Amino acid sequence: MSEPAPPFRAERYLLRPLPDGRSLALGRFTAATADVLGPATAAVGPWAHYGFDGRKIAAGFKTSTEGTCRLQIECDGELAGAIVVVCPWLAGPYLQMLAILPAHQKLGIGARILAWYEGEARALFRNVWLCVSGFNVAAQRFYQAHGYTLAATLDGLMRDGDAELLMRKRLVP
């Protein structure tokens, strides 16, 4: 029996279409798409709350680091967001970032991304991990609805007065 292929290594992934039939794909960043998605990501969600610099996020999207997968999310050929996965992490991969731009939210993209993330990990790992900001109640509900449970509260990780919630999902073989 052969070993499973290492996860999170492909240049491009085609995911199941969205419920409304739109195509969904993940692909490696180009410099141009990183320069668009960096500032767009900095303008939403926890990144806006913490005052992240869009140019620094874009620079991070362009960086190549062993064990870190950085992908742009494409919905019907349009840039829809970004995902960053660190693997291996703690007995499984860590979803460091899932950013879906506002025009593409509530379409089912997040659920498709989580299914892809868990599917990539399932053959080699028993856990998948992510962090969500304590103030981001909608994201907490989303992850809980997909089987993630609280593993730890990290008070003051990003700044005093805020907490990040480390969540884990145990994968069933």
Residue 4, in any domain of the structure = no
- The angle formed by the CA atoms of residues 73, 166 and 128, to the nearest 5 degrees, is 60
Residue 33, in any domain of the structure = yes
pLDDT at 139: 96
- State the total domains in the chain: 1
Residue 136, in any domain of the structure = yes
pLDDT at 1: 57
Q: Domain limits at 34? A: 12-170
**Is the model more confident about 4 or about 44?**
44
pLDDT at 12: 95
Phi and psi torsions of 115, nearest 5°: -60, -40
pLDDT at 95: 98
Q: What is the CATH number of the domain that holds 33?
A: 3.40.630.30
User: Do 33 and 72 contact (CB within 8 A), yes or no?
Assistant: yes
Residue 85, in any domain of the structure = yes
Residue 145, in any domain of the structure = yes
- Tell me what the mean pLDDT of segment 144-168 comes to: 97
Residue 5, in any domain of the structure = no
Residues 19-33 pLDDT 10s: 999 999 999 999 999
Residue 18 tokens, joined? 């969205």
Residue 6, in any domain of the structure = no
Cα gap 72→26, rounded to integer Å: 6
- Tell me what the mean pLDDT of segment 73-86 comes to: 97
- Tell me what the mean pLDDT of segment 84-109 comes to: 96
- Tell me what the mean pLDDT of segment 65-93 comes to: 96
Residues 42-53 pLDDT 10s: 999 999 999 999
Place of tokens 């731009």: 101
Residue 161, in any domain of the structure = yes
- Tell me what the mean pLDDT of segment 115-143 comes to: 96
DSSP states along the chain: -PPPPPSS--SEEEEPPPTTS--EEEEEPPHHHHHHHHHHHHTSHHHHHTT--HHHHHHHHH---TTEEEEEEEETTEEEEEEEEESSSSSS-EEEEEEE-GGGTTSSHHHHHHHHHHHHHHTT-SEEEEEEETT-HHHHHHHHHTT-EEEEEEETSSSTT-EEEEEEEEPP-
Cα gap 52→101, rounded to integer Å: 15
**pTM more than 0.75:** yes
CA quadruple 35, 40, 45, 48: dihedral sign: positive
